[in-house]
Amino acid sequence: MRRRDILFALLLGLGIWQALVWITGAPHFILPSPWRVAQAAYKSRVIILDNAWITALEVLLGLLLGSLLGVATAVQLTLFKTAERLMLPILVFTQAVPVFALAPLLTLWFGYGIGSKVVMAVLIIYFPVTSAFHDGLSQTSQGYRDLGASMGATRFQFLRYVQIPNALPSLGTGLRLAAVYAPIGAVIGEWVGASKGLGYLMLLANGRAKTDLMFAALIVLACLTVLLHIAISKLALRLTKYAEGR
């Protein structure tokens, strides 16, 4: 996406936002204008940055741990067919349980600190990474399988030199999804119980009817998510190029 397109989309969004404020005539504590939100963000920049740092740390730790766990699980499912038959139905069943409903339990088990938010982020991105990478590992063409068998490659050698490089684009897709989901998990955890973070700041601002500050915290969270997605997309592109021998 070109910078000109990003700037145009940003200006269009701000224009629609301001138009809604003018058309509806809503009071500022219901729908603040972009300028009022910008003023609130500047006045509260210290507290916003302080809480943004906590949320960013939770998201990055959750993304790292959840991705590593998802990759390890996908490799295990590929290597051992018994584990695949037993664990795949369990993984699918766990998705029937709303992860958000586990947030109070996680807060009870891991406390109000950063731990419960990291675990929440891990849980919400674990399945997408596992599923995407496992699909990539399972979709190795029959030609490669025949070639590996003719050369006498062991299961681990075939996995290392053929399946994993071939599945890297699928892993990139899973990581892109994880980059979007991880902030959701962290903020949900902060809403349930926290003393720091952008989610906590939004609840605090809402309770004090500071809608402009709540919008400012929400916009900062969106910017963090976009930056994380851009970084992960670049990593996914490098993985794809590596898999294609470029």
- State the Cα–Cα distance between residues 214 and 188, nearest whole angstrom: 15
- State the Cα–Cα distance between residues 167 and 91, nearest whole angstrom: 20
Instruction: Output the pTM of the full model.
Output: 0.83
Predicted confidence band at 3 (pLDDT cuts at 50, 70, 90)? low
- State the Cα–Cα distance between residues 128 and 221, nearest whole angstrom: 22
Measured over all CA atoms, what is the biggest interatomic distance in the chain, rounded to whole angstroms? 74
Q: Residue 4 class from Cβ within 10 Å (0-12 exposed, 13-18 middle, 19+ buried)?
A: exposed
- State the Cα–Cα distance between residues 231 and 246, nearest whole angstrom: 20
Q: Report, as an integer, the average pLDDT of 40-49.
A: 88
Of 122, 129, 142, residue with least CA distance to 77: 129
What's the CATH architecture for 73-243? Orthogonal Bundle (1.10)
- State the Cα–Cα distance between residues 197 and 160, nearest whole angstrom: 40
Tens digit of pLDDT for each residue in 99-150? 777 777 777 788 778 888 888 888 888 888 888 888 888 877 777 666 667 7
How many residues belong to the chain?
246
Tens digit of pLDDT for each residue in 56-93? 999 999 999 999 998 888 888 888 777 777 777 777 77
Of 9, 195, 6, 168, residue with least CA distance to 112: 195
pLDDT of residue 22 exceeding 80, the answer is yes
Determine the pLDDT at residue 2.
Answer: 63
